[in-house]
Amino acid sequence: MSSSIIEKKVLKGGEFLIKDSLHQEMFIPEEFNEEQLMVKETVRTFVEQDIMPITDRIEKLEEGLIPSRLDIFASLGLLGTHMPEEYGGSHLGYITNTLIGEEVGPSGSFSVSYNAHTGIGMLPILYYGTEDQKRKYLPKLITGELKASYCLTEPSSGSDALAAKSTAVLNAEGTHYILNGQKMWITNAGFADLFTVFAQVDGNKFTGFLLEKGLEGFTLGAEEKKLGIKGSSTRQVFMENVKVPVENLLGEIGKGHLIAFNVLNTGRFKLGASCLGGCKKILDVSIKYAIEREQFKKPIASFGAIKYKLAEQAIRTFVTETATYRTAQLIQESEEELAAAGADFATSKRDAAEEYAIECSIIKIIGSETLDYVVDEAVQIYGGMGYSEEGAIARAYRDSRINRIFEGTNEINRMVILSTILKNAMKGELDLMTPGMEVQNELINGSTTGGTFTGDYRAEETAVSNFKKILIMLLGSAAQQAMGGKLDLKSEQEILINMADIIIEIFNAESTLMRVQKIAENHPDKNIIPYNAILSTYLHDASGRVTKQATDAIASFISPDLQPGFISGLRKYIKYPLQNVKENRRKIADTLIEAGEYCF
Ligand SMILES: Cc1cc2nc3c(=O)[nH]c(=O)nc-3n(C[C@H](O)[C@H](O)[C@H](O)COP(=O)(O)OP(=O)(O)OC[C@H]3O[C@@H](n4cnc5c(N)ncnc54)[C@H](O)[C@@H]3O)c2cc1C
């Protein structure tokens, strides 16, 4: 964490790969407090009463509708829950804000507008604005008087955002920057009052600016015709000799990349949380439909094929939820620790999110991919009705797909995971060497590292510990080859993706294990059987996926003479006992069917 001056004590970003966590200390969604449950209820009621009944009108982009809904949300005090009180916010903490994002999720287009306004729209000012800029804009963004958008992408620069061609030149008087260029795919553009725009000063100094609506030469394209989230405004932005006062420069000249990337960490996390809310909603309607719909004189929910789908939707949703709130807690505790050590509000928020860039990318990937899986299977459970525009599933199916593309595509996010780990390792912030040596010793000498587990969940703890060893084995060898000039890792994206997917499995598996352990210990009111079924089915499947990713990596970059050693190491570490996954999934599905809704 380059910009932080404070030594942190909580598990640092990516450290889950090399350190164990205590399940008793992990926040789990079973333990929301009263205030959090009240906020959840308020948001849920808002979505059910103020959004869902007018979905068709929103989808037709009826003018003023989304902004008016943002205004209602603001009147409930919900646009400033992540902002400090001095600007009118209520600073409710990262976990509560995650819950808000989750509850907004099922609203589709509104959720996209809300996330853009409160995330990539407001955060650049909080993180990098001057005191004057914060005082001028944040209170009005919190009350909804101003709506925000964020203009990074251009026709020729999407993933390669820093290659933007828009330019900014200081005028002769030194009073204004003159901006020229074109931005593309800008969410909220149709109604936004304030645009964070990135442009190159003097041709190559990537810099942020705050542009108010109505400036001469600042115009918008028509609404884009999109596959989904049709109710969210998305337009091009054109700038022709737009005069922007120098006081609206955001941050430092040439430091726009810091704004762009730091804002994206939280943007990615928020997107994942919203996807989670979508998963739960779609699972609810899938369960209800499967119970009601009869074929062959039976509810389709009684068929094994459908039970499999419901159970798998639930397993993936549960895992995503667990990982999401674990990350929220890490960020929240880091914020608190930074603040206690003297960092101001904005710095503690920005640095904490930056610290957990790896985890934020994981949440973005699993949220978006779980939602795509859940809606796809929902279409299948609904059969022909899933393909009808009359039902809610078709819209969810179309809306879901964007999440793997924006806030950094999932390919880019997988690269971020690996590049951040390698960067932190190089800087000495993530010690991969010590566990690397231990794993090497264990494989060569047969010594055992990491202790043996003895509790009820010893097989699961061993499995998670072994997933970590597999990654360390691969990462260590890749790093060694890279340092010796034998492997140019950057250009070996397939291998990076293999490793990123193993890292995601580790985070998911460990988080899920800890949640189930904590439920078993702290929540005797809960029937632990279906939770155990979720955990063991996930680990059974994860063992297969880790084996596949690791085998691909070994075949791709380990020299043939060393491959047998690596494959035998892999076999040594993949030994989670076979599970009766059919019975497990039936238990999970039966629990869902009995509850009539998602109930974990
Ligand atoms: C509905 C919608 C709303 C949006 N809202 C906003 C907004 O509010 N503000 C904003 O600034 N932008 C916004 N975007 C833009 C969005 O962030 C970009 O579309 C996204 O970053 C991908 O860029 P691209 O479309 O140019 O695709 P490209 O970058 O051209 O990517 C095409 C494909 O190539 C892959 N690829 C590209 N580079 C690499 C690489 N180095 N390694 C491996 N694979 C690679 C990508 O993963 C992808 O699969 C929005 C987009 C959409 C569709």
pLDDT computed for residue 448 by the predictor: 66
> Does 366 have pLDDT greater than 90?
yes
If you take atom 40 of ligand 1, which residue's CA is the nearest one? 412
What would be the CATH architecture of the domain defined by 432-595?
Up-down Bundle (1.20)
- Ligand 1: list residues with CB < 6 Å: 116, 149-153, 158-159, 185-187, 226, 234, 402, 405-406, 409, 411-412, 493
If you take atom 50 of ligand 1, which residue's CA is the nearest one? 185
What is the identity of the amino acid at 194? L
pLDDT computed for residue 9 by the predictor: 55
Top-tier CATH class for 15-140+258-410: mainly alpha
Ligand 1 centroid to Cα of residue 95, in Å, is 28
Ligand 1 centroid to Cα of residue 411, in Å, is 10
Give the whole-number percent of the chain exceeding pLDDT 70.
Answer: 98
> Does 10 have pLDDT greater than 90?
no
Ligand 1 probe mutation, 406, 417, 419, most atoms within 8 A of CB: 406
Distance separating alpha carbons of residues 366 and 97, to the nearest angstrom: 19
Q: Which numbered atom of ligand 1 lies nearest the CA of 412? A: 47
Please determine whether the domains at 15-140+258-410 and 148-255 fall in the same fold group of CATH.
no
State whether residue 206 is helix, strand or coil.
Answer: strand
| CB contact at 8 A, 67 and 60 | no
The residues, any chain, with a CB within 8 Å of residue 277's CB and separated by 6 or more, are 101, 102, 103, 104, 105, 106, 111
Distance separating alpha carbons of residues 538 and 543, to the nearest angstrom: 8
Residue count of the chain? 600
Q: Token pair of 480, please? A: 């060694």
**pLDDT tens, residue by residue, 105-121:** 999 999 999 999 999 99
Q: How far out from the chain centre does Cα 360 lie?
A: 5
Ligand 1 centroid to Cα of residue 405, in Å, is 6
C-alpha distances in Å from residue 413, one per residue of 264, 281, 334: 11, 26, 22
pLDDT computed for residue 390 by the predictor: 86
pLDDT computed for residue 7 by the predictor: 47
C-alpha distances in Å from residue 282, one per residue of 52, 382, 580, 588: 14, 11, 27, 17
Cα four-point dihedral sign 465, 466, 470, 476: positive
**pLDDT tens, residue by residue, 49-95:** 999 999 999 999 999 999 999 999 999 999 999 999 999 999 999 99
If you take atom 4 of ligand 1, which residue's CA is the nearest one? 185
* Catalytic residue check, 505: no
State whether residue 301 is helix, strand or coil.
Answer: helix
Q: Token pair of 570, please? A: 């892999």
State pTM to two decimals.
0.97
> Does 449 have pLDDT greater than 90?
no
Give the bridge partners for 170, in sequence order: 177
Of 102, 321, 407, 442, which one is the catalytic site residue?
Answer: 407
Ligand 1 centroid to Cα of residue 408, in Å, is 6
> Does 341 have pLDDT greater than 50?
yes
**pLDDT tens, residue by residue, 477-534:** 998 898 889 999 889 999 999 999 999 999 999 999 999 999 999 999 999 999 999 9
> Does 5 have pLDDT greater than 60?
no
- The fold of the 148-255 domain, in CATH, is Butyryl-CoA Dehydrogenase, subunit A; domain 2 (2.40.110)
Indicate the domain borders of the chain. Answer: 15-140+258-410, 148-255, 432-595
